[in-house]
């Protein structure tokens, strides 16, 4: 009996915590557009990829006077646009089902976040020719302008080129390093761009021995293996690296730990990791923030926002493949209150390079295997 | 004589009623939490109704979702019947699925041979993955809970490696999801939705009512027949009830336990049939995880009987759908929905077990 009481009290306590966030919001007179989004399993709250997609929804709500239905943070700027997100559980057909219920319920644009949505999204899109679907990081073959699917892909190599250039300019006669997570073509895009950027600005680094690169592993656990990243990073710093860039997801924490110990620099990935670490609650994490020079940002929020913008402004989204590079503000480097002083001396140079990439003067190689040929052509 | 029979039937009834009691109690939990979160319980029930019983499409989805859960439940239940606690169904499911998929990718047969072949290979794969823990248990007395959990991790690591390296069928620049080559069209499971429509049940085409449903029905009947109508099944159940009595009665206990373990693994190997052969058409280690563990709760609720597992797996699929209904139509946060469905399962299992113990005590009293 006593235990039962305790359980009940705990439930009520949990309830009270959540009760504050849920109030009536929707008004009469339906929204102009309804936009739905499906995260992947456990996606919301990852402080990276999926939360960036959520930030995109918030941006849509702000810009076009919309609201996010049933969001605990109570995001409500008007009733013009209805936004709704769902999250599947593990199951063979669950992603497909959630995409389908959104389409059935009259949503005009439905997003799938992550490559795992490729198959389900293609299947559902066939059944709903009047609903537009968009997938982040997924590749669905044989699409064209008139398809009702848009693949939102990123030019990670362009953003990596910029942070590579930053590393090359900040490097004090040492080596630079790259740590990849899982050894897949996607991550080699990061490596290729990074090396190209570094050797573009710094002739010292053009000798092959000046660049250290290593991958953590061949399976997805490589993206959450911080101890492995710590070991690799420590080795690289001992070999004389001064700056290391990682494209290894949650493993990156190991790199930042090593950077703090060796008092050397690191570059983050996907979101503004320097800002996240520097503003963290616990002191140990905050201390690491100081060693994060910048981050290569993958702006999922911009991709999500721009696709919705197309729908709301033109009434229709063009199908096919939309690439988000520097030009589209889909990738970039992080500049925040914590690193702006450090980057100030080289900022003009970096922005000049950025303009060259946007104008097409520099074509960034999209894999490390293409860097050599690129260097022979571009650098004399 | 006659009186006795009636009494026994009364207890049977109680046995059947107890999960219902558990379900009702779990609904109370649902209401309490929903109210605490500040949402209306009526809205919650409407949401659940809309996602479960409102349309034949939703009902069919529940049936479809229950297929892998049924295999998981019956795999665990079979081992339970022999007193073996097979926590390794998860690993057996992953490994069995891979072996079945390989048979689907690399063999060339006409469909009526190829489909049975991939089913058999899936079972063989599952059984193979159960073999070492089974041998360790009976020869070296290594507890199966420990060894099978370790084998789950080994299976996952092995599959990660295999799918990424030697068996990768990923074209460059194509999907980013690591996967094997495509399974031959002759091994893919077709849908039987048309059959249900003939029977007057209006099931839309997109719901996955595929051959795996037929396999599930056949396997359910076979398992029931083996367990309750064959001498062999009687021996397995005897081992599960009391090892010493079974040994005293001259049964080959070790052999029976190994056999039960392997059959359990073989049944576990079938969990992936639907996802691999009907939904995806290739193998990846991203297939639904956690089903092997759901199987434990399903076997508990279903009291290790094939028919009980049928109901329990449908209940599980219903709860999953209910969760989506809450997510879609109410403002209950997703994390709270996980808590709700988890607690509902817990309540059903616990109340079920309590009444089971109570009935057992009553029976004993009666017998004295």
Rounded distance between C-alpha atoms, residue A87 and residue A98, angstroms: 8
A363 in contact with chain B, both atoms CB, cutoff 8 A: no
What's the gap in Å between the CA of A57 and the closest CA on chain B?
A: 17
Rounded distance between C-alpha atoms, residue B70 and residue B53, angstroms: 20
Give the model confidence (pLDDT) of B50-70 as tens digits.
888 888 899 999 999 999 999
Identify the pLDDT of residue A169: 94
Could you tell me if residue B344 is inside a domain?
no
Identify the pLDDT of residue A198: 95
Q: Is the pLDDT of residue A27 over 60?
A: no
A98 in contact with chain B, both atoms CB, cutoff 8 A: yes
B32 → closest Cβ in A11, A16, A101: A11
Question: Chain A residues with CB inside 8 Å of B336's CB?
Answer: 14, 18
Domain boundaries, chain A: 31-141, 157-298+331-378
**Closest-approach residue (CA) in chain A for B35:** A15
Q: Which pLDDT band, with edges at 50, 70 and 90, does B177 fall under?
A: confident
Q: Do B175 and A123 touch (CB under 8 A)?
A: no
A73 in contact with chain B, both atoms CB, cutoff 8 A: no
Q: Which of A139, A164, A303, A149 is nearest to A245 (CA)?
A: A164
Q: Is the pLDDT of residue A15 over 60?
A: no
User: Strand runs (DSSP E) across chain A, as ranges?
Assistant: 33-38, 66-68, 81-86, 109-113, 132-136, 149-154, 175-182, 211-217, 241-247, 265-270, 292-298, 320-324, 331-333
Rounded distance between C-alpha atoms, residue A333 and residue A274, angstroms: 11
Identify the pLDDT of residue B175: 58
ipTM score:
0.87
Q: Is the pLDDT of residue B159 over 70?
A: yes
A143 in contact with chain B, both atoms CB, cutoff 8 A: no
Question: Chain B residues with CB inside 8 Å of A117's CB?
Answer: none
Rounded distance between C-alpha atoms, residue B183 and residue B277, angstroms: 8
Q: Both tokens of residue B177?
A: 């999801």
**How many residue pairs from chains A and B have C-beta atoms closer than 8 A?**
115
Identify the pLDDT of residue B9: 63
Question: Who wins on pLDDT, B358 or B298?
Answer: B298
Question: Chain B residues with CB inside 8 Å of A11's CB?
Answer: 32-33, 36
Rounded distance between C-alpha atoms, residue B92 and residue B122, angstroms: 9
Could you tell me if residue B175 is inside a domain?
yes
What total number of domains does chain B contain?
1
Any idea which of A96-100, A308-312, B164-168 has the lowest mean pLDDT? B164-168
Q: Which pLDDT band, with edges at 50, 70 and 90, does B213 fall under?
A: very high
A358 in contact with chain B, both atoms CB, cutoff 8 A: no
Any idea which of A258-262, A304-308, B19-23 has the lowest mean pLDDT? B19-23
Residues in chain B, overall count: 368
Q: Both tokens of residue B185?
A: 């069209």
Q: Do B36 and A16 touch (CB under 8 A)?
A: yes
Could you tell me if residue B346 is inside a domain?
no
Could you tell me if residue B237 is inside a domain?
yes
**Closest-approach residue (CA) in chain B for A220:** B160
Q: Which pLDDT band, with edges at 50, 70 and 90, does B4 fall under?
A: low
The arithmetic mean of pLDDT across residues A258-275, rounded, is: 92
A219 in contact with chain B, both atoms CB, cutoff 8 A: yes
Identify the pLDDT of residue B176: 67
Identify the pLDDT of residue A243: 96
The arithmetic mean of pLDDT across residues A222-245, rounded, is: 93
Q: Is the pLDDT of residue B28 over 60?
A: yes
Identify the pLDDT of residue B6: 53
Residue position matching structure tokens 């996907």:
A270
Q: Which pLDDT band, with edges at 50, 70 and 90, does A160 fall under?
A: very high
Q: Both tokens of residue A195?
A: 């090396």
Q: Which pLDDT band, with edges at 50, 70 and 90, does A346 fall under?
A: very high
Identify the pLDDT of residue A172: 84
A127 → closest Cβ in B36, B174, B206: B206
Identify the pLDDT of residue A23: 36
Among B159-163, B164-168, B319-323, top mean pLDDT goes to B319-323
Rounded distance between C-alpha atoms, residue A57 and residue B50, angstroms: 26
Q: Do B287 and A138 touch (CB under 8 A)?
A: no
The arithmetic mean of pLDDT across residues A14-25, rounded, is: 41
Rounded distance between C-alpha atoms, residue A346 and residue A139, angstroms: 36
- Cβ within 8 Å of residue B94, ≥6 positions away: B155, B156, B159, B272, B285, B287
Could you tell me if residue B138 is inside a domain?
yes
Domain A31-141 matches domain A157-298+331-378 at the CATH topology level:
yes
**Closest-approach residue (CA) in chain B for A90:** B288
The percent of residues above 90 in pLDDT, for chain A, comes to 60
What's the gap in Å between the CA of A209 and the closest CA on chain B?
A: 28
- Assign A291 to helix, strand or coil: coil
Mutation target among A40, A67, A89, A321 for the B interface, most CBs of B within 10 A: A89
The arithmetic mean of pLDDT across residues A316-341, rounded, is: 92
The percent of residues above 70 in pLDDT, for chain B, comes to 95
Rounded distance between C-alpha atoms, residue A85 and residue A111, angstroms: 9
Rounded distance between C-alpha atoms, residue B69 and residue B76, angstroms: 11
Check: CB of residue A204 under 8 Å from CB of residue A210: yes
What superfamily in CATH does domain A31-141 come from?
Response regulator (3.40.50.2300)
Q: Is the pLDDT of residue A20 over 50?
A: no
Q: Do B33 and A219 touch (CB under 8 A)?
A: no
Q: Is the pLDDT of residue B99 over 70?
A: yes
Identify the pLDDT of residue A18: 45
Give chain B's mean pLDDT: 89
Domain that holds residue B200: 67-308
B33 → closest Cβ in A15, A21, A220: A15
Question: Chain B residues with CB inside 8 Å of A49's CB?
Answer: none
A91 → closest Cβ in B37, B65, B331: B65
Residues in chain A, overall count: 380
Identify the pLDDT of residue A26: 41
Q: Do B37 and A22 touch (CB under 8 A)?
A: yes
Rounded to two decimals, what is the model's pTM? Answer: 0.85
* CATH class of the domain at A157-298+331-378: alpha beta
Any idea which of A171-180, A214-223, B105-114, B288-297 has the lowest mean pLDDT? A214-223
Could you tell me if residue B331 is inside a domain?
no
Could you tell me if residue B165 is inside a domain?
yes
Q: Which of B62, B81, B52, B90 is nearest to B213 (CA)?
A: B62
The arithmetic mean of pLDDT across residues A337-352, rounded, is: 92
Q: Which pLDDT band, with edges at 50, 70 and 90, does A29 fall under?
A: low
Q: Is the pLDDT of residue B255 over 60?
A: yes
Could you tell me if residue B348 is inside a domain?
no
């Amino acid at each position: 009996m006593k235990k039962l009481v305790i359980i009940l009290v705990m439930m009520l306590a949990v309830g009270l915590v959540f009760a504050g966030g849920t109030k009536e919001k929707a008004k009469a007179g339906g929204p102009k557009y309804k936009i739905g989004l499906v995260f992947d399993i456990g996606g919301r709250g990852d402080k990276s990829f999926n939360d960036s997609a959520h930030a995109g929804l918030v941006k849509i709500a702000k810009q076009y006077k919309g609201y996010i239905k049933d969001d605990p943070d109570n995001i409500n700027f008007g009733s013009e646009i209805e936004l709704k997100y769902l999250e599947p559980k593990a199951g063979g057909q669950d992603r497909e089902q959630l995409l389908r219920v959104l389409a059935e319920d009259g949503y005009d644009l439905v997003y799938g976040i992550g490559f795992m949505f490729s198959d389900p999204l293609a299947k559902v899109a066939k059944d709903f020719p009047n609903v537009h679907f968009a997938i982040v990081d997924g590749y669905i073959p044989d699409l064209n302008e008139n398809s009702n699917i848009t693949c939102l892909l990123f030019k990670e190599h362009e953003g990596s080129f910029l942070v590579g250039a930053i590393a090359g300019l900040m490097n004090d006669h040492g080596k630079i390093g790259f740590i990849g997570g899982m050894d897949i073509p996607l991550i080699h895009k990061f490596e290729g761009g990074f090396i190209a950027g570094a050797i573009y600005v710094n002739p010292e680094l053009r000798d092959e021995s000046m660049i250290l690169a290593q991958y953590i592993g061949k399976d997805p656990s490589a993206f959450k293996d911080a101890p492995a990243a710590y070991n690799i990073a420590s080795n690289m710093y001992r070999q004389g690296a001064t700056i290391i860039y990682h494209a290894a997801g949650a493993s990156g924490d190991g790199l930042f730990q090593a950077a703090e110990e060796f008092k050397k620099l690191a570059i983050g990935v996907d979101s503004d990791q320097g800002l996240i670490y520097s503003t963290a609650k616990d002191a140990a994490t905050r201390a690491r923030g100081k060693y994060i020079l910048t981050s290569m940002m993958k702006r999922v929020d911009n991709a999500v926002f721009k696709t919705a913008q197309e729908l709301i402004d033109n009434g229709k989204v063009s199908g096919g493949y939309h690439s988000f590079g520097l030009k589209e503000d889909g990738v970039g480097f992080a500049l925040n209150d914590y690193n702006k002083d450090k980057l100030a001396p080289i900022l003009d140079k970096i922005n000049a390079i950025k303009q060259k990439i946007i104008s097409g003067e520099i074509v960034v190689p999209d894999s490390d295997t293409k860097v050599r040929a690129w260097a022979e052509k571009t650098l004399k | 004589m006659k009186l006795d029979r009636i009494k026994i039937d009364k207890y049977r009834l109680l046995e059947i009623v107890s999960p219902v009691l558990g379900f009702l109690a779990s609904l109370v939990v649902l209401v309490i939490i929903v109210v605490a979160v500040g949402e209306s319980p009526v809205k919650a029930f409407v949401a659940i109704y809309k996602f479960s019983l409102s349309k034949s499409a939703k009902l069919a989805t529940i049936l479809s979702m229950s297929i892998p859960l049924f295999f998981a439940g019956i795999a665990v239940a079979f081992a339970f019947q022999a007193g073996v606690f097979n926590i390794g169904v998860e690993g057996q499911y992953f490994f069995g699925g891979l072996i079945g998929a390989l048979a689907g990718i690399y063999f060339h047969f006409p469909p009526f041979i190829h489909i049975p072949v991939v089913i058999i290979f899936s079972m063989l794969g599952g059984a193979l993955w159960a073999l070492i823990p089974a041998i360790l248990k009976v020869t070296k007395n290594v507890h199966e809970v420990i060894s099978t959990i370790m084998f789950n991790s080994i299976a996952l690591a092995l599959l990660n490696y295999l799918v990424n390296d030697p068996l990768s069928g990923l074209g460059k620049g194509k999907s980013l999801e690591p996967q094997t080559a495509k399974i031959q069209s002759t091994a893919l499971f077709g849908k039987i939705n048309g059959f249900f429509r003939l029977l007057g049940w209006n099931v839309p085409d997109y719901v996955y009512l595929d051959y795996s449903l037929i396999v599930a029905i056949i396997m359910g009947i076979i398992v029931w027949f083996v367990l309750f109508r064959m001498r062999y099944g009687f021996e397995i159940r005897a081992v599960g009830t009391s090892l010493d009595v079974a040994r005293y009665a001259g049964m080959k206990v070790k052999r029976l336990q190994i056999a039960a373990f392997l059959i359990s693994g073989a049944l576990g190997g079938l969990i992936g049939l639907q996802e691999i052969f009907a939904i995806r058409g290739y193998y990846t280690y991203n297939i639904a995880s956690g089903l092997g563990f759901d199987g434990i709760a399903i076997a508990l609720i279903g009291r290790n009987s094939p028919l009980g597992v049928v109901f329990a797996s449908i209940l599980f699929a219903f709860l999953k759908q209910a969760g989506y209904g809450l997510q879609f139509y109410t403002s209950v946060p997703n994390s709270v929905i996980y808590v709700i469905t988890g607690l509902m399962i817990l309540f059903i299992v616990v109340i079920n077990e309590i009444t089971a113990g109570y009935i057992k005590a009553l029976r004993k009293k009666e017998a004295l």
